[in-house]
Every structure is written in structure tokens, then in C-alpha cells.
Chains A and B, each alone.
Chain A
Amino acid sequence: MNNEITGAEIVLKSLAEQGVEVVFGYPGGAVLPIYDTLFKQNSIKHVLVRQEGGAIHAAEGYARSTGKTGVVLVTSGPGATNVVTGLTDAMMDSVPIVCITGQVPQHLIGSDAFQECDTTGITRPCTKHNYLVKDVNKLSSVFHEAFTIAQNGRPGPVLIDIPKDVQFASGTYEEKNKIIIPSHRLFEPSPDFEKNKIEEAVELISKAKKPIFYIGGGCINSGPKASKLVREFINMVGSPVTMTLMGLGVVGSSDKNSLGMLGMHGMYEANMAMHECDVMINIGARFDDRVTGRLDAFSPNSKKIHIDIDESNINKTINVDVPIIGDVKQVVEKMITVWKEKKFQIDDKALKLWWDKINKWKQVDCLNYNNEGKQIKPQYAVQRLYELTKNTKTFITTEVGQHQMWAAQFYKFEEPNRWLTSGGLGTMGYGFPAAIGAQVGHPDALVVDIAGDASILMNIQEMSTAVQYRLPVKIFILNNEYMGMVRQWQELLHGGRYSESYTDSLPDFVKLAESYKAVGLRAKTTDELDDVITQMIETKNTVIADIWVTKEENCFPMIQSGSAHNEMMLSKDQKQDKKSAEKGKILV
């Protein structure tokens, strides 16, 4: 047959038709036919990582910063198992990913062949959907469905496992528009039912005396227009708004209505407002345990509106009064229309009293820290980084731990998609490869990975990738020689016994950078900090900036596990009720 092409060619053709520009991957025996086809074409760029785990985080960073789907290509066996963490991360944080894995040829499946593993079995719980493609003629339809599923509804990772014989076999290619996906396989909100709930919700908001908007990552996944609409609606209402870790940037940090982040290390005023509000409007957040604190004391006197695209989030941990299932952009647009049509007006007097109360909470100045001496405080380092980068188009990624929380608290985000962090899974080692992905998607932007000395070592091998592709990613290490968040918990909950949380034998990060032919910089005191940051920004190369910070600084404010929003710890001098501390200890 003349119009038949090989499976490997179908893979590349499908990617091209889906508009894929870049693939993050690592070759191996079971994907050689696809790599051979990749070699013969120029339209799709490949970024060779140094471990498959790096590929999937890079794809996540690419996806979150560009709004496109990230694509990963790895081999069978260890190639596939190495992406499991990243798939789970993307599942938790709703990042659209298509991951292609090679598989041993079909006649060897089940024989414990070399580099064989049950990839679809292993990845079933950590993907939105996955496929083992046995028929080359189904390959293109699987690809087109996979891209749709990855982006549709609540986005997430989709994996396609392709046996090597299928990559070699010849078959026909079907174009995207010829594929019909049955509706039950996709998310479709029921518009009529929603409308009633929207009117009910908007009316409830109009009657609120102490409203608060609680904004999550769903607003970012819904696209930049969603953020615009959310801002517009909040302005119309005049209500305070707080954001989750994943939602930072939906409403600008400098917006007069913004109370900043809420949750375990969120702002005092945001958590207090959540506790005392009478109407809570949750848009695209999922009442995560880092946000809610103790469930039985969570915002006890409020009516709750919950807008979510994933119906399983409704009443999962918190029962709500008005659930609306749908895409943020569409729902908020309708809410604005209803608000205008019905000429709703919020009770100005009540709202003023509410703001007065919030402003009193603000006076607590919960992010206050002691910034005396020449030693660099980690908070100060992030503040200076912000001041020196705020006028540049900057993307911030993080690893996981104290530095991540300081970044969330002290770096001010004015726009969505500029902040990439591992929220749900909390994956150390996420930030650097994610920064690589973000830089690939935005070659001219400044991309900074705010890292800790422990986290950065989890994917340090990607230095090689960054240098090879001339990606001028900046790694800004808040180096305290500890796994800081582990140490903090040990200090607060385990009698200060720092079991295995000190990182001995750290590399010399400056020499490490140099050994990769990147640039290494170091700041030991506050006098050196600004110069190092400026030099880092100006260097047109990959940079590691090793910032020596005070070693035993704690991240505050903090709601300890098992405590409620109104039981925040502002400093370590504040003794916690011993009983609830004991209860909280068993939680994560």
C-alpha cells in the first residue's frame, strides 16, 4: 500500500499535527525506531535530558509556563519507571502531559524480557488514562485522543506505550479531524443546570457581609482569560481574595484586594479571613489539607460556593452549599453577566467593616523576620531577588521545602503562568528541570529556580542538559546545609533531634557549575548579595548562585498540622497547645 507509513512515522506525524514543537526525552532500545524517525526530520525539536525524571519535570515546566501540552519520549523498563514520579506530580497538579514509552516487542511481552515492565499497569493510578497500542493502524487515533484527554476537563498526564514491533510495522495515518471521540470519554458540563446554580451563587455573594474569594490552580489551567475574568469579578464585588500555592498570580500580588497566599505557611490575614468569612467563593481549588488545616474547625460559619471542573472534588473533604461544575472561564463569565443583569450590589457598609477587620490582621505583619547582621536571611535573599528581577519577564520555579514557601511568601507574582512549583505531590528535584522546560518555552525570558541545597542535588545532572542547549537558567540556592523543612518539623515536633536532616559533604556549588562549563557565583554576606544577583541576571549562561543563608531559620507563619486557620503560629516563641501538637504529629 502506497499510503502506509511506519508506526514510528505515525508517532512523529501525530505529534506534528498536534502542533508539538519540542519533545523532552532519552533514547533506549525500545524507542530506537522513533528516534531514527526523529533524526530524519526537522520540525520537532528534541531536548535530551540526563535522566528520564528530568524529562517529565521539564515537560511539566514547559506546559505550565506556555499553556501547551508537554511531551515526553522515553524507553521501556527503567525509562518508564523513572517517569512515574513526574506522572504522579502532573496528575496531582493537573498538568497536561503526553508521555510516550517504548515497550518490548509484543511476542516478548510477559516473558520478563530485557528492560520489560508492565508500564500501563504501573502508571494506571498516576495517569488520567493510558494505552498499550497493539495495532499500528490505531496509533494515530490513540495519539489524537491522548492529546484531547490530556487537555480536556481537568488536565493531566496520558501515557502511550508502544511495543517496538508496532513502531516498525506499516499502517495508515488518520488525521486529527477524522477522529471521533465518544462523549463519555471526555468532560462536558451540563450548561442548563449550571445556570441555576450560578444565579444562586451570585445572589449569595451579593448578600455577603464578609465575603472572601479562595482561588486555586484551576484558574491558571483555564487559561489567561480566566485570570482576567476572575480579577474583573472580584473588583466588581470589592471582596478580599486569597490564593493557594498553585493559584499565585491569578490575581496580582499588588492588587488592592489580594491578601496573598493562604494555608499552612500562608498569610495570617488570609487565614483569619477564611476562618471568619460568611461567604466563601472557591474558584478552581480543592480544599487541600495544606490549605484547610483541621477540617472540623475550617471556616465554621460560612456558606461555601465551589467552582470546580472535577466533580469528584465537590464535597470530598469539605461540604459545600453551592457547587458549580464547569470551566472557570465559562462559569465566571456567566457570573459577571448575572451580576450585571440583576444589578447586584454588595452591602458597602458591611464590606467596609470587613476590610477594617482584615486591615487589623494585616498589622500583625506576619512575614516579619529579624534581619540583623551580615548573615543573609533566606527571606531577605528572596526579597532582593524579587526587587532586582521585577521589571524583567521572569519565571520562578522552585524545588520543595522551606525555600519554596519563602519564595511563595516573598516573591510577588503579578501574572499567571509565571510561577511553577510542585504543589500536590511536593516533589524535591522538580524545580531545575521545570526551569529548563520553561526556558525552552520562553527562550528570551529570565528563568530562576529558587532551590534548596538538598533539593537541587536530586536532579543536578540536568546541568548538562541546560549547558548543552545553552539554556541560561539560573539556580538560586538558599544554602543552609539542611533539609530545612525536615529540620524545622524536627525542631517543632520531635524535640530538636535532627535525624538525618543535615546534608554533610555538599559539593562546592561554584566549582560544580564550573565543571559543567556553567557559571558559579557565591554570596556569603548581605554585602555581596545584590552584586551576585545582578551578575547572575546579566550572565548569558547557566548560573548556579550559591547563597549562604542562616542555617536554622524557620518558615513562619505556620499552621501546624492538626490546627485550624485561627491557630497560626507566628514565631517559634509562641508555644503551641501541647495536646493539639501531639495530635498533629501523626499527620504529614
Chain B
Amino acid sequence: MNKSVYASPDQVSETKRHILTVLVDNEPGVLARVIGMFSGRGYNIDSLNVAEVSNDENISRITIVTHGTSEVVSQIEKQLLRIVPVHSVTNLDQEGNSVEAEVALVYIYISETNKKKVYQLCDLYRARKIENENNTTIFEIAGASERVNRFIKEINEITKVEIVRSGPVAISSIQKNEEE
């Protein structure tokens, strides 16, 4: 993290989407501290995802999608690091190489007339039907947000849907020493 702290931000920069991944102690109130910093200082949260990633050490990973100029995002990173239970903040866009994915669950209103089209589209996007006790048509699609967006747009043109999305999670794809 030192690099981004010391580096002078670019003189003029445009607003860009950034994915920040924040490792925190899994203790009460930690999420409130993180999102409270965003609202208190007037920063944006486009999406947010939290889950425990390591059972032994009690550490959670918060993935935040935000947008702002590089100056603003650099300030966000530094403000996050001031929070006591925060271990590290990584800006995946600055690291350069990362992969991201999100999950959407889509309840599709299906009828005899649109059934074929729906299944074709789901096939095309490799959306998987989730079996459930009510036997309703619920599909799961995972992947880059762009792909999920396109799927939703196209399925919307066919029929009515209800959607829930996880928001993206992301991880650096830079090769690491296996032992680490």
C-alpha cells in the first residue's frame, strides 16, 4: 500500500470506476466503520460485498466498487487505512491485472409463447436453471458485470423478470509465489 500513499496523484484525472478490496478484522461494527467513512466524507459506493474469507484468522474481505478521480480514490484508500481493524486496501485497477465476477439470480416469468426464446438465451449466456421446490424458473448467471448486464437487457426484452445481484467481487491475477 505504501506506493499509492507516497505517489503524487496525477494532476488532472478523469472519473473512473475502481474496485477496492479491503481486508478487515471480522469484529462487530467494522462494516459500519467502512461504509460510514464513505457516507461521512461524501464518497460513492456503487456496490459492496462482504464475506469472511479465512476461518482461522477471523478476517473478512470487503469488495467495494466506487468511482472517482484518482485523487479521490487515493484519498479513499488512505482514509480506509486509518480505520483500526483494516489490514490492507488494494486498488485492483492500479494493480493492473485482476479478474472480477458477480452472480445474479433471475426469476423469469415464463409462458408457452416465450419459453423457447428464454431457454435459448439462457443457453447462450450459460445461465443455469436452479431447481427449487416450487418449480419456478430461476436462473443463475455468473461472470463479469458487463455480461450480466447484457443478459438482463436481453431477457428483459422477452419477458418480465425479477433480479438480485451480488455486485462484483474481484481478485488480483498477478502471479504470486506459491508458498505465500
Contacts and interface: CB of A to CB of B under 8 A. Distances in A.
Contacts of A182: 25
B88 interface: yes
Contacts of A132: 28-29
Contacts, number: 55
Interface of B: 2, 5-6, 8-9, 11, 25, 28-29, 32-33, 36-37, 40, 71, 74-75, 78-79, 81-82, 84-88
B82 A312 contact: yes
Contacts of B71: 315
Interface string A298-319: 0000000000001110111001
B87 A314 contact: no
A121 B75 CA distance: 24
Contact of B32 (A124, A311, A320): A124
Interface string A393-408: 0000000000000000
Contacts of A321: 8
A197 B87 contact: no
A474 interface: no
22 contacts: A121-B32, A124-B29, A124-B32, A124-B36, A125-B36, A125-B37, A128-B84, A149-B84, A182-B25, A184-B86, A184-B87, A185-B84, A310-B82, A311-B78, A314-B5, A314-B6, A315-B8, A315-B9, A319-B11, A323-B6, A325-B5, A325-B6
A312 B28 contact: no
B76 to A, nearest CB: 10
Interface in A175-194: 182, 184-185, 190, 193
A526 interface: no
Interface string A319-355: 1110101000000000000000000000000000000
A120 interface: yes
Interface in A81-129: 120-121, 124-125, 128-129
A17 B29 CA distance: 28
Nearest to A130: B29
A315 B137 CA distance: 52
Most buried by B among A124, A311, A319: A311
Which 6 interchain pairs have the tightest Cβ spacing?
A312-B78, A129-B84, A184-B87, A311-B5, A185-B84, A125-B40
Contacts of A315: 8-9, 71, 74-75
Contacts of B9: 315, 319
A16 to B, nearest CB: 25
Helix, strand, loop or mixed for chain A's interface? mixed
A550 to B, nearest CB: 42
B33 A314 contact: no
Contacts of A121: 29, 32
A128 B71 CA distance: 23
Contacts of B82: 310, 312
Contacts of A325: 5-6
Nearest to B39: A125
Nearest to B79: A312
A184 B27 CA distance: 14
B155 to A, nearest CB: 41
Nearest to A194: B6
Given A185-B84, A312-B81, A323-B8, 12 more contacts: A121-B32, A124-B29, A124-B32, A124-B33, A124-B36, A125-B40, A182-B25, A185-B85, A314-B6, A315-B71, A319-B11, A323-B6
Contacts of A130: 29
Interface in A125-146: 125, 128-130, 132
A193 B32 CA distance: 33
A128 B5 CA distance: 20
A197 B7 CA distance: 12
A311 B8 contact: no
Contacts of B40: 125
Contacts of A185: 25, 84-85
B24 to A, nearest CB: 9
Contacts of B29: 120-121, 124, 130, 132
A128 B81 CA distance: 12
Given A124-B29, A149-B84, A197-B6, A316 B36 contact: no
Nearest to B27: A131
Given A124-B33, A125-B40, A132-B28, A190 B2 contact: yes
Nearest to B76: A312
Contact of B81 (A124, A125, A311): A311
Contacts of A310: 82
A312 B74 CA distance: 9
Nearest to B3: A193
A124 B32 CA distance: 8
B74 to A, nearest CB: 7
Nearest to B82: A312
